[in-house]
Amino acid sequence: MTASAFASDRRLDGRIAIVTGAGSGIGRAIAIRFASHGATIRVLDVDEAGASETCRLIQSKNGEASFYLCDVTKQRDVVAIFSELAHTGRIHILVNNAGVSHVGTVESTTEEDFDRLLRVNVKGFYNCMHAVMPHMKDNGGVILNMASIAGSAGLPDRFAYSMTKGAVIAMTYSVARDYLAHNIRCNCISPARVHTPFVDNYLKNNYPGREKEMYEKLAKSQPIGRMAEPDEVASVALFLCSDEASFITGADYPLDGGFFNLRG
């Protein structure tokens, strides 16, 4: 098989993909990658400036993208936006990516922080899947949830974040099982550390003047010796949402640089 034939397997021409939290980082990389393979992108985000920039980047390469201001924690708003989008064309793909992180143990995590992570990282994913199902059930579709190795591994100082990502993995399995008969595939990706603006801001706020040193320390905690880049996550996302992965559902894909199997 030629290289061009391989590439055509991952084309998303004629498909509409909703990507939440696509204003930066992993979400932006996924939106741009999907658009470069023919998908029409609907960006849902609370960050108007970041989401508009994502759309501009896609449109500058002759792709099609539009932005919808959306707080995924508010079910009524999410349902209304998904209904509006369904009237513009069939929804083929949902990428649940909007999320927040947190550093802390069970003692240092406040109730306010716990509730915030639960609302965004768990309820937000539920709201989007709840809203998209009526529009996918008749024609099938693909749902991709962004999880994390934190959801299935014991990471230090990630109590609330790990809790939410474990819930994402469990929801993925449940939805995949419940909607087999409707030809809806549901998978998740569990990355290790990814070099995103969150990492840079975390280092700036917590280790001023030592950012480079601490970045190297975090990067080398992966056996492969570096963090993942958002584009690498986008490559796996494209595969899982393409016809090339039509036999894959109910899977949690590790993108961990050897974290689980190669640690000393």
Catalytic residue list: 161
Contact 187, 171 (CB under 8 A): no
Report the alpha-carbon distance of residue 186 to residue 202 in Å, rounded. Answer: 31
Report the amino acid identity of residue 242: S
Strands (E), 73-224: 91-96, 141-146, 184-191
Contact 249, 175 (CB under 8 A): no
Closest CA to 262 of 192, 206, 199, 189: 192
Report the amino acid identity of residue 234: A
Phi, psi at residue 239, to the nearest 5°? -60, -50
